[in-house]
Amino acid sequence: MGATMIEKIIEKNTGKAVRPGDIVTVLVDRVMIHDIFIPFVADKFTEMGFSRIWDPEKVVLIYDHLVPASQVDDTRHFRAGNAFVEKYGLTHVHRSDGICHQLMPEAGYVKPGNVVFGTDSHTTTYGCVGAFSSGIGYTEMASILGTGTMWVKVPETIRVTVRGKMPANVTSKDLILRLIGDLGADGATYQALEFAGDTVENMSIASRMTMANMAIEAGAKCALFAADEKTAQYCHMELTEEIRALAADPDASYARELVYQAEDLEPVLACPSQVDNIRPVRELSGTEIDQVFIGSCTNGRLEDLMAAAEILKGKQVAPFVKLIVTPASRKIYQEAAENGTLAILAEAGAMITHPGCGLCCGRTGGILTDGERVVATNNRNFLGRMGTSKVEIFLASPKTAAASAVAGRIAQA
């Protein structure tokens, strides 16, 4: 019997053939800690009795959730992070370069076949380049910093095959939302989502990032896309036979298989206040809104901003509607400025913020209040996520978000 992608990656790492349910110890290739968790990781690291980090070169510290500070206590996290960097000699530190899940692949910290952990649930994003990546807590992270190892239970795999060409107004965000709606918020708990099919093969790395990012919203342990020439180009490396071999075998065994025909897909929304509460945009068209948010580690990439700009070009954001745009990284911000995308968005009335998590995690840059309604491109619409518990959050693609900003109500691109 053949092996799935996750089984092959773990086997490559451990040197042992594995099957779902096996508990193994993996050697960690890279870890990511962000500003919210660094004080707790540092304290736990000391409490465990460690005096040195197993490999400082493999640790990445990113300030993104709290930058710039919006509350007095935020600066405590920066001081704790800076002290940890100085004490243990960390060299990979980003203080205002963008969102962690964008920076990790973008800056080359993650490669196909790597085993990566981060102190954030959306660490699943790095599966876009064929890495096993998953979120953990600060206690587990402290343990990895001291030992370089982590135990995992080999997950079962759900294979998702998508064939055909998606309609022009449908994006990978609509596809992953549709999948989450079909699986349910717990439908892939501690399982790997493995994506395949010509639709997936034709996607950009950015579109794959969107899907891998939201895999956790169905409970997935990780999400995986087989590495191809696009992956190699993005990662600035050669697509070797060793990397190609990490793709799933034709006779691999799956816990479940789902097949989608791309032409049948349509723009959808995740409605308040659950990510799996999925409805077609056409059913909600005309619902008045107060704000639109385009950004986050889910949909703040250049292709997302350009898709929104294409819809907004020559138009104006509806009166009394706020459009907030947040590029996912400094590099994306600069690229969007250079190719004229930011100018189009600004001329349409968008408020463009610094790269960071900001509104997505409810910290700064557009917090909403009771009775307000927002169409947003981020990954969660839980109660209180972007303001008070009486804010209604609809998750959508950048195309749907841009069209809604112009209409002043939910609208289909």
Q: Distance between CA atoms of 300 and 148, rounded to whole angstroms? A: 32
Burial 271-301 (b: 16+ CB within 10 A, else e): bbbbbbbbeebeebeebebbbbbbbbbbbbb
* 293 Rama class: left (phi>0) / alpha (psi -120 to 50) / beta: beta
CB 53 within 8 A of CB 87: no
Please report, to the nearest 10 degrees, the dihedral formed by the alpha carbons of residues 138, 142, 147, 152 taken in order: -10
Last residue of a domain, one of 261, 284, 311: 261
Residue 159 phi, psi dihedral angles, 5° rounding: -95, 130
> Is residue 412 one of the residues assigned to a domain?
no
- The reply to whether 150 and 251 lie within a common domain is yes
The per-residue pLDDT for range 110-162, each reduced to its tens digit, is 999 999 999 999 999 999 999 999 999 999 999 999 999 999 999 999 999 99
The tokens for 279 are 């409805």
- The reply to whether 227 and 274 lie within a common domain is no
Tell me, what's the pLDDT at 69? 84
Closest CA to 160 of 178, 177, 179: 179
Residue 372 belongs to domain with CATH number: 3.30.499.10
Q: What is the mean pLDDT of residues 366-376?
A: 95
For residue 387, pLDDT over 90 is answered with yes
Closest CA to 136 of 125, 152, 120: 120
Mean pLDDT of the chain: 97
- The reply to whether 158 and 252 lie within a common domain is yes
Tell me, what's the pLDDT at 397? 98
> Is residue 54 one of the residues assigned to a domain?
yes
- The reply to whether 139 and 114 lie within a common domain is yes
Tell me, what's the pLDDT at 53? 98
CA atoms within 13 A on the CB side of 93: 15
- The reply to whether 14 and 78 lie within a common domain is yes
* 330 Rama class: left (phi>0) / alpha (psi -120 to 50) / beta: alpha
For residue 378, pLDDT over 90 is answered with yes
Q: Which residue has the higher pLDDT, 364 or 305?
A: 305
Sorting pLDDT into bands at 50, 70 and 90, what band is 351? very high
- The reply to whether 64 and 184 lie within a common domain is yes
Residues linked to residue 373 through DSSP beta bridges, in sequence order: 392
Q: In the chain, pLDDT over 90 holds for what percent of residues? A: 95
- The reply to whether 237 and 304 lie within a common domain is no
- What are the start-end ranges of the H helices in 205-340? 205-214, 229-235, 241-244, 281-284, 296-299, 302-312, 330-338
Last residue of a domain, one of 229, 261, 293: 261
Q: Tell me whether strands 373-376 and 392-395 are parallel, antiparallel or unpaired.
A: parallel
Q: In the chain, pLDDT over 70 holds for what percent of residues? A: 100
**N-to-C CA span, the chain:** 45
The tokens for 306 are 């350009």
- The reply to whether 60 and 107 lie within a common domain is yes
Closest CA to 208 of 129, 113, 271, 267: 129
> Is residue 71 one of the residues assigned to a domain?
yes
For residue 172, pLDDT over 90 is answered with yes
- The reply to whether 41 and 9 lie within a common domain is yes
Tell me whether the omega of the peptide bond preceding residue 273 falls within 30 degrees of 0, making it cis: yes
Tell me, what's the pLDDT at 199? 98
Q: What is the mean pLDDT of residues 268-272?
A: 98
The residue to which tokens 């001329």 are assigned: 347
Closest CA to 107 of 315, 329, 310, 307: 329
For residue 363, pLDDT over 90 is answered with no
- The reply to whether 256 and 286 lie within a common domain is no
Structural domain tally of the chain? 2
The per-residue pLDDT for range 293-336, each reduced to its tens digit, is 999 999 999 999 999 999 999 999 999 999 999 999 999 999 99
Last residue of a domain, one of 196, 231, 261: 261
Tell me, what's the pLDDT at 239? 96
Q: Which residues contact 391 (CB under 8 A, 6 or more apart)?
A: 368, 369, 370, 371, 372, 373, 374, 384, 385
Handedness of CA 170, 212, 277, 164 (dihedral sign): positive
Q: Distance between CA atoms of 240 and 259, rounded to whole angstroms? A: 29
> Is residue 323 one of the residues assigned to a domain?
yes
CB 95 within 8 A of CB 66: no
- The reply to whether 82 and 182 lie within a common domain is yes
> Is residue 413 one of the residues assigned to a domain?
no
Q: Please classify residue 184 by burial: count the beta carbons closer than 10 Å to its beta carbon, then call 0-12 exposed, 13-18 middle and 19+ buried.
A: middle
The per-residue pLDDT for range 48-90, each reduced to its tens digit, is 999 999 999 999 999 999 998 888 888 999 999 999 999 999 9
- Residue 167 is part of which domain span? 5-261
For residue 262, pLDDT over 90 is answered with yes
